[in-house]
Amino acid sequence: MQFTVTILGAGSATPTLNRHPSSQLISYESENFLIDCGEGTQFRLLEYKIRPGKLKGIFISHLHGDHYFGLIGLLSSLNLGGRTEDLLLFGPQGLDEILTLQFKYSQTPLQFRIIYIPTNTTQSTLLYEHSCFNVYTIPLNHRIPCAGFLFQEKLHKRKLIKEKITEDIPFDYLRQLKNEEDIYDEGGNLQYSVADYTLPAPPSRSYAYCSDTRYDESIIPIIRGVSLLYHEATFQDDLAHQAAARFHSTAREAATIAHKANVGQLLIGHFSSRYKKVDSFLNEAQSVFPNSHIAEEGTTFNILSVPSTDASLLPDT
């Protein structure tokens, strides 16, 4: 199953010519989910040839404009495009009121249903259950209520060894073997063993998105051991005092969280517009957590099941 994240925007509140407000696309096999929807997100989707009409759901972390000002435009375009399929929308309390007001005064009747699910920004809760993964909230320490999102793949079943499977083995037996159940005959003798007929299931994969937040170690138990962590890094370490005052983090602090949470790999983004280049962010993060990477806009990253070398996080091609 393909499990990827595409970076649409990695800038902060003030856009620049080469960085855009926060937005990411999570793709699991053929299903797409948007995380945050900063201004111009629908143009980024079009630029990277991602069909907005294929979105199954949208997750909004908080109600600062750089994380949701593109939402009303995207929803309006979906409506004009003739969407009729339900759309899942996850976000903090008040988001539904904002959208209702916008559509009321623009006299825009939607042709599709928005299923709005409010997020819990004070404790980690199960937000959405998909057949292949669960999504949990990650309470973040920001100036207004804010929650990140943890996408946790469900455990896989063991794999059958094809060379050992013969036509005389009943289908129910195969199902039991995949569920780690040995098969015994009526006399209690082992007939088919899990160890002989199956291989271990591949480890599940996970992705944690931590948008605007101060350095806060309380999130570590929630994100511990995730395959890939995105953590905001608005400032560099020389402006750590300013980062704390504005409820943001530095690249070093993001890397420290990654190190203490023992994650597989780290992506950093949400860079302040004061920085024209971001190479120094990467150097700062890698000095603490070597497997750190820049959330480069337009790049798709594979979410892997186990920690690996830097080469494993090369763009998906």
DSSP secondary structure letters along 56-95? EEEE---SSGGGTTTHHHHHHHHHHTT--S-EEEEE-TTH
> Which of the following is catalytic: 36, 66, 238, 310?
66
User: Do residues 41 and 179 share a domain?
Assistant: no
User: Do residues 46 and 131 share a domain?
Assistant: yes
- Out of 182, 199, 216, pick the residue that ends a domain: 199
User: Do residues 175 and 264 share a domain?
Assistant: no
User: Do residues 220 and 163 share a domain?
Assistant: no
Rounded to a whole number of angstroms, the CA Rg of the chain reads 22
What pLDDT digit, counting tens, does each position of 121-146 carry? 999 999 999 999 999 999 999 999 99
User: Do residues 188 and 303 share a domain?
Assistant: no
User: Do residues 174 and 308 share a domain?
Assistant: no
User: Cβ(214)–Cβ(247) under 8 Å?
Assistant: yes
User: Do residues 7 and 70 share a domain?
Assistant: yes
What pLDDT digit, counting tens, does each position of 21-37 carry? 999 999 999 899 999 99
User: Do residues 221 and 266 share a domain?
Assistant: yes
Q: What pLDDT was estimated at residue 158?
A: 86
User: Cβ(224)–Cβ(208) under 8 Å?
Assistant: no
Q: For residue 11, which phi and psi values (nearest 5 degrees)?
A: -90, 180
Q: Kind and range of the H or E element at 245? A: helix 240-245
Residue 171 makes CB contacts below 8 A (sequence gap 6+) with none
30-33, Cβ contacts within 8 angstroms, sequence gap of 24 or more = 31/56, 31/130, 32/56, 33/57, 33/58, 33/59
Query: Under DSSP, is residue 166 helix (H, G, I), strand (E, B) or coil?
Result: coil
Number of domains in the chain: 2
Which of 143, 100, 101 lies closest to 121 in space, CA to CA? 143
User: Do residues 182 and 270 share a domain?
Assistant: no
User: Do residues 186 and 269 share a domain?
Assistant: no
Q: pLDDT category, 317, cuts 50, 70, 90?
A: very low
Cα–Cα distance between 248 and 237 in angstroms, integer?
Answer: 12
> Domain holding 114: CATH number?
3.60.15.10
Which of 128, 125, 129 lies closest to 138 in space, CA to CA? 125
User: Do residues 289 and 302 share a domain?
Assistant: yes
Q: What pLDDT was estimated at residue 167?
A: 87
Helix, strand, coil distribution of the chain in percent, nearest 5:
25, 25, 45
Cα–Cα distance between 303 and 30 in angstroms, integer?
Answer: 15
Longest dimension (CA), the chain: 75
Give me the domain span that covers residue 220: 3-156+202-313
Q: Tell me the pTM.
A: 0.88
> What share of the chain in percent tops pLDDT 70?
96
Q: Label residues 289-310 b or e (16+ Cβ within 10 Å = b).
A: bebbbbbebebbbbbbeeeeee
User: Do residues 151 and 261 share a domain?
Assistant: yes
Q: Residue 7 class from Cβ within 10 Å (0-12 exposed, 13-18 middle, 19+ buried)?
A: buried
Residue 168 known to be catalytic: no
